[in-house]
Amino acid sequence: MEKFIRCLPKVELHLHIEGSLEPELMFELAERNGISTPYSSVEEARSAYHFHNLQSFLDIYYQGANVLITERDFFDLTWAYLLRCKADNVMHTEIFFDPQTHTERGIAFDTAINGIYHALRQGEKELGITSRLIMCFLRHLSEEAAFETLEMAKPHLNRLVAVGLDSSELGHPPEKFERVFAEARALGLKTVAHAGEEGPPSNIWDAINLLHVSRIDHGVQSSEDPELIKTLALSRMPLTVCPLSNIKLRVFDKMEDHNILTLLDQGLCVTVNSDDPAFFGGYMTDNFIALNKALSPSPSQLAQFTRNAIEASFVSDERKQEMMQNLDDFWDKHGIH
């Protein structure tokens, strides 16, 4: 089964590029840019990657991002992630970036997006991995700050497919960003939002009804609301679930407790993603393997996660058909019927 998982074509829809910063690259960029870190070694940095909730993770996440200074840094970060995608048989990825994490410390919006975007284009050309870029607003910051960020993004709208909402969910409900999301939609951007990770099911309802999202990022708390489950199943509203992240941040105590297969069996458009893989213990294949060990999904269930992700992706119908054909060809060759 592990060989099946490693070879399975995959699509990732929930990846924070800053969260793919491995300690080795963090040290390399710190040295390149003359920046001191609070860690004396890669091993010490790795040992610091222990969290008890979302906020304790975010504290170290933002600290690590301080080494990202130049366009080359953002390119190298993104390229390193794309190489992991290639190794994991990821056909397509839709990545988040947090411009406010960088603009708040004096790094130009253009610097961040240029480095990321050029790496994504090179990834398509050299690695055959298609991609889309989603700009997230940090929900612990103000609505005004989000509007300022959207203004900075206007010269780059052709490089963005959507806006998202991430950072601390508790205390920062979707309604806080209703107006800025409306403005983003008016500019032609799609919308997604983190909801129902640590927050209640009401955040999922509000993301749908107030922010008019095309996908819910996380969404695992939907199981607390039977009516919401029915609505999500009927609408095929995608949930970009991140199994290893959910365990690392104590959303579930252990993988055996995770509800992802239950949600899948209830007819929801559930997908598997890695979230912040450098911090949470694994990229796409690692997440699939962890699910397999704990929950023993069938091969068809594992393949369904990819089918759902293709369906939920922000690409042309032609590209979706191409990816679905790749998956069908794989299934015909390797599927356990």
Catalytic residues: 197
Question: Which 8-state DSSP code applies to residue 48?
Answer: T
201 φ, ψ (degrees, to nearest 5):
-55, -25
The token pair at 317 is: 């119908």
Report the C-alpha gap between 31 and 232 in whole angstroms: 47
14 is in an annotated binding site: yes
Nearest to 234 by CA among 206, 196, 208, 258: 208
275 is in an annotated binding site: yes
317 is in an annotated binding site: no
How many other CB atoms are there within 10 angstroms of residue 209's CB atom? Answer: 12
Q: 207, 174 in Cβ contact below 8 A?
A: yes
212 is in an annotated binding site: no
Report the C-alpha gap between 121 and 124 in whole angstroms: 5
Q: 184, 137 in Cβ contact below 8 A?
A: no
16 is in an annotated binding site: yes
Label the pairing between strands 270-272 and 190-195: unpaired
Q: 146, 174 in Cβ contact below 8 A?
A: no
Could you give the 3-state DSSP secondary structure of residue 40?
coil
The token pair at 152 is: 């900075």
Residues in Cβ contact with 190 at an 8 Å cutoff, skipping those fewer than 6 apart: 161, 162, 163, 214, 314
Question: Would you list which residues are annotated within the binding site for substrate?
Answer: 276
Question: Would you list which residues are annotated within the binding site for Zn(2+)?
Answer: 14, 16, 194, 275
Question: Would you list which residues are annotated within the binding site?
Answer: 14, 16, 194, 275-276
